[in-house]
């Protein structure tokens, strides 16, 4: 199984990319709590070497974003990823993505925070 397939298997829901605004809004409400909606971290999955792109470019930014906004690893509460791939939008929980990328990188959650978290 390639990296894109392994990542997208984590999706808890999908929608046509053409309906992104409505779908993201719906998931934001569904995944949030009574006080506020969840936050969407959006990205377009590239073609080519997806695994390297995820580990080298997306992982550092994602960890920094999560830690900066208080969605601390490993739970990453209140954040989901909206991943565009082709004409489909996939929704993944941030904690599931971070867990997968931690495994791929060989870095523990503590190491991810130390290396990529806010300074």
Domain count of the chain?
1
- Between the alpha carbon of residue 93 and those of residues 49, 81, 119, the distances in Å are 22, 6, 25
Each residue's pLDDT tens digit, 70-111: 999 999 999 999 999 999 999 999 999 999 999 999 999 999
Each residue's pLDDT tens digit, 1-40: 799 999 999 999 999 999 999 999 999 999 987 667 799 9
On the question of a cis peptide bond just before residue 74, with omega within 30 degrees of 0, the verdict is yes
Give the model's pLDDT for residue 119.
82
For residues 32-49, give the mean pLDDT. 88
Give the model's pLDDT for residue 35.
66
Q: Which domain holds residue 110?
A: 3-116
pTM above 0.85, yes or no: yes
Neighbour count for residue 35 (Cβ, 10 Å):
6
């Amino acid at each position: 199984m390639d990296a894109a397939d392994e990542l997208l298997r984590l999706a808890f829901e999908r929608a046509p990319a053409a309906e992104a605004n409505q779908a993201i809004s719906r998931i934001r409400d569904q995944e949030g709590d009574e006080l506020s909606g969840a936050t969407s971290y959006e990205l377009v999955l590239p073609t080519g070497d997806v695994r390297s792109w995820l580990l080298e470019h997306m992982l550092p930014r994602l960890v920094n974003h999560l830690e900066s906004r208080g969605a601390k690893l490993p739970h990453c509460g209140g954040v989901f990823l909206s991943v565009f791939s082709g004409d489909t939008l996939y929704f993944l929980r941030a904690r599931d993505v971070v867990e997968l990328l931690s495994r791929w990188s060989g870095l523990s959650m503590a190491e991810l925070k130390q290396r990529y978290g806010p300074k």
